[in-house]
A and B are shown apart, each in its own frame.
Chain A
Amino acid sequence: AQSVAQPEDQVNVAEGNPLTVKCTYSVSGNPYLFWYVQYPNRGLQFLLKYITGDNLVKGSYGFEAEFNKSQTSFHLKKPSALVSDSALYFCAVRDLLYSGAGSYQLTFGKGTKLSVIP
Chain B
Amino acid sequence: EAQVTQNPRYLITVTGKKLTVTCSQNMNHEYMSWYRQDPGLGLRQIYYSMNVEVTDKGDVPEGYKVSRKEKRNFPLILESPSPNQTSLYFCASSSSNQPQHFGDGTRLSIL
List residues of chain A with CB under 8 Å of any chain B CB: 9, 32, 34, 36, 41-46, 49, 51, 90, 100-101, 103-106, 108-111
The answer to whether B42 touches A110 (Cβ under 8 A) is yes
CB-based closest 4 A-B pairs: A43-B102, A110-B42, A46-B99, A108-B43
Q: A44-B90, A90-B42 are in contact. Are A104 and B31 (CB under 8 A)?
A: yes
Tell whether B94 is near chain A: CB-to-CB under 8 Å.
Answer: yes
Residue of B40, B56, B96, B102 near A103 (CB, 8 A) is: B96
The DSSP consensus for interface residues of chain B is strand
Whether B50 pairs with A110 at a CB distance below 8 angstroms is no
Residues 5-63 (chain B) with a chain A CB within 8 angstroms: 31, 33, 35, 40-43, 45, 48, 50, 56
Shortest distance from the beta carbon of A34 to any chain B beta carbon, whole Å: 6
Sample of 11 further A-B pairs with CB below 8 A, known A44-B92, A108-B42, A110-B40: A43-B92, A43-B102, A43-B104, A44-B43, A44-B100, A46-B99, A103-B97, A104-B48, A104-B94, A105-B45, A105-B48
Residues A45 and B43 in contact, CB atoms below 8 Å apart: no
Contacts of B45 in A (CB 8 A): 105
A109 to B44, CA, bound (A): 10
Collect the chain A residues with CB atoms within 8 Å of residue B76's CB.
Answer: none
CB proximity of A95 to chain B, nearest CB, Å: 13
Question: Is B4 at the interface (CB under 8 A from chain A)?
Answer: yes
Question: A106 — nearest CB in chain B belongs to which residue?
Answer: B100
